[in-house]
Amino acid sequence: MIRQPFSLGGIIPVAGFIRDKNHFARNHNINSKDTFVLLIHGENDNIINCKESKIAYELFKKLGFKTRLHLFSIKHKIPIQVKGLIKKIFQ
C-alpha cells in the first residue's frame, strides 16, 4: 500500500507488524499518504505483541498517513464487535 502511486480509501491491518521498518520508511510513495490506516490489535495478544501495532502507528504517523490505533482487551482474535467500529470510521 505504501508504494502505490495513489491513495486507497483505507486499509485495516489486524494484529500485524512491519517486518523491516527502515525499508518501509524509505520506500513509501508520498502519493499514497492519503490512505487512511486503521490499526486494530488485542492488548493481550500472545502471538504478536501489541507493541508492534504501536510502533506501526508511530511510523505511519511520522510518514504523514492518516492513522488510528484501536487496542482491545482481547488476545489474537478480533471480535465481531469491531465491525461497528469499522463501519463508523469508514462511513
Hey, what domains does the chain have and what are their CATH numbers? 21-89 (3.40.50)
Rg (CA), the chain: 13
Q: Is the pLDDT of residue 59 over 90?
A: yes
Identify the residue whose cell numbers are 508520498.
30
Identify the residue whose cell numbers are 504501536.
54
Dihedral class, residue 15 (left if φ above 0, else alpha if ψ from -120 to 50, else beta): left
Q: What are 36-57's pLDDT values in tens digits?
A: 999 999 999 999 999 999 999 9
Give the model's confidence band at 81: pLDDT under 50 very low, under 70 low, under 90 confident, else very high. Answer: confident
Q: Is the pLDDT of residue 91 over 80?
A: no
Calpha distance 3→19 (Å, rounded):
15
Tell me the pTM: 0.86
